[in-house]
Structure 1
Amino acid sequence: MNLAVNNQGLLLAFSLVLITMFIAYKEKLEINKDLIISVLRAIVQLFLVGYLLKYVFKVNNFIVTLALVLIIIFNASYNAMKRSQGMEHSLRTSFLAIFISTGVTLSVLIGVGTIKMIPSQLIPITGMIASNAMVAIGICYKNLNLAFRDQRQQIQERLALGADLKDTSLPILRETIKIGVQPTIDSAKTVGIVSLPGMMSGLIFAGVDPVHAIKYQIMVTFMLLSTTSIASFIACYLSYTSFFNERKQLR
């Protein structure tokens, strides 16, 4: 089954964006500027990535593929860092969390033969993994900032009673990791019943047997659960000390 999207179809599909802009204008949401910028950026970025991937797939070089994987991980780390609200070493923390969680997940998938070390498989899977890790880490950063601010009194009381930094922060860390992983868990609960995710839908569109498409989607669910949990764990445990000064006082 061959699928083709022509220019006329894209122009007609743009009417969906116009509907969104009309609603935003009518309700005075003041987001139309951001909508236009986001749409233009998406078009330019996707075309650039499309031509780049076409070249990378054709070359099929391991070094080039690895370089692109690292670029994906760095960009995800940089965007996660933006959610940290000024936390110390947040770019380094984000990079380590995404690099390790992505590396562990990819190693398992490659090791069991689910995916191959070829750019057409490695790069899209890396993008899926890194983007979900990025979102989870961003959620963790937001919750850490809120929790350390809202629970300031309780934290100071624990410190006054002689608790070390880890024991003082442990309730916040556990709750934050849970919050970071929860969207992926909720998505896993409804997959196949409420939603037909991208990989599964794409394979079905391409004419793949739905049963085989389901197996791929189960694999994706497993890998996203793994990635978000590892990334949230690493990001939280590398970040909590930044809320204290060198004298172990809450900043």
Structure 2
Amino acid sequence: MSTLALGFTLTFVMITMALSKWQKLGLEKDIALGTIRGALQLLFIGYVLHFVFQTEHLAYTIGIISIMIAVATHNAGKRGKGLKGINWRIAAAIAVTEILTIGLMLSLNIIKPTTQFIIPISGMTIGSSMIVCGLFLNQMNREVETSRDVIEALFALGATPKQAFQRALQSSVKASMIPTIDGMKTVGLVQLPGMMTGMIIAGTSPVEAVRYQILILFAFTASAAMTSIILSMLSYKLWCTKELTLRKQTS
């Protein structure tokens, strides 16, 4: 894509801002800031990845993945406001999922052990895990709040935290995985995923692009399940005190 063609893509931003102004949504400033920030971030990471791909140094690869996990943890952690220690639990869930996913791909020779493969797939895996963490925390907060009387009654009857929160945890894990599962059902019919589309535009055979997209699709499903289950196992006690009473929800 030429620089001129890239510049023309701002037309879509202008249309969005015009629609916002027409409907008096007041989003013009946010759209403008988001556009500038997104473009600068992408340009920056583009040059960084260009450098890393050329050097093929393991330390740079680990560094970039660590930054991805840190940013994903910070973003998902906002959904767990008031839960002390939730951030390191999110980081642990995402990190374990990343290690298991990439480790399995490398050990089975599904992908090549190069930064060109590891970093992009890691980014998609971590991004997917971040969304799952946010969905889990949102749903868990709702489940605990709506089932407060039931959970407190279970505690009064001598139930352990795991027993008291069992139904809420099951519902939250299920809710966090629904978007991923729904995506599997409609991929190729309702949408052509970004990775597949990008490879086709870059000149790759559609059949080869589909193979890589299938890899990502299956890996995302497994990583969503791993992330949600690991986070549920690490975090469920945060919703109660040592005296086995529910903590007050914070907005």
TM-score range, shorter chain: over 0.9
Structure 1 counterpart of 2:151: 155
2:243 counterpart (239, 244, 247): 247
1:92: how far off? 0.1
TM (norm. structure 2) is: 0.95
Matched, 1:52 2:69: no
Question: What 5-or-longer segments of structure 2 have no aligned partner?
Answer: none
Equivalent position amino acid for 1:100 in 2: V
Could you give the per-residue CA deviations for residues 153-188 of structure 1, whole angstroms, max 9, x where no partner exists? 111111122211101100010110011111010111
Structure 2 match to 1:123: 119
SS across alignment from 2:9: helix
Query: Are 2:116 and 1:133 equivalent residues in the alignment?
Result: no
1:79 is matched with 75
In the alignment, what sits opposite 1:223? Answer: 219
1:142 aligned partner: 138
Q: Distance in 2 between matches of 1:242 and 1:86?
A: 9
Where in structure 2 are the equivalents of 1:1-251 lying within 5 Å?
5-251=1-247
Normalising by structure 1, we get a TM-score of 0.95
Residue deviations 1:96-137, cap 9 Å, x none? 010001111111111111112211111101000000000010
Q: State how far apart, in whole Å, the 2-side matches of 1:121 and 1:106 are.
A: 10
Instruction: Give the Cα–Cα distance (whole angstroms) in 1 for the partners of residues 88 and 71 of structure 2.
Output: 12
CA distance in 2, matches of 1:17, 1:92: 37
CA distance in 2, matches of 1:207, 1:6: 16
Deviation beyond 2 Å, 4+ runs, structure 1: none
Task: With a CA cutoff of 8 Å and minimum separation of 6, indicate the structure with the bigger relative contact order.
Answer: 1
The alignment's C-alpha RMSD in Å is 1.1
Deviates more, 1:165-174 or 1:109-118: 109-118
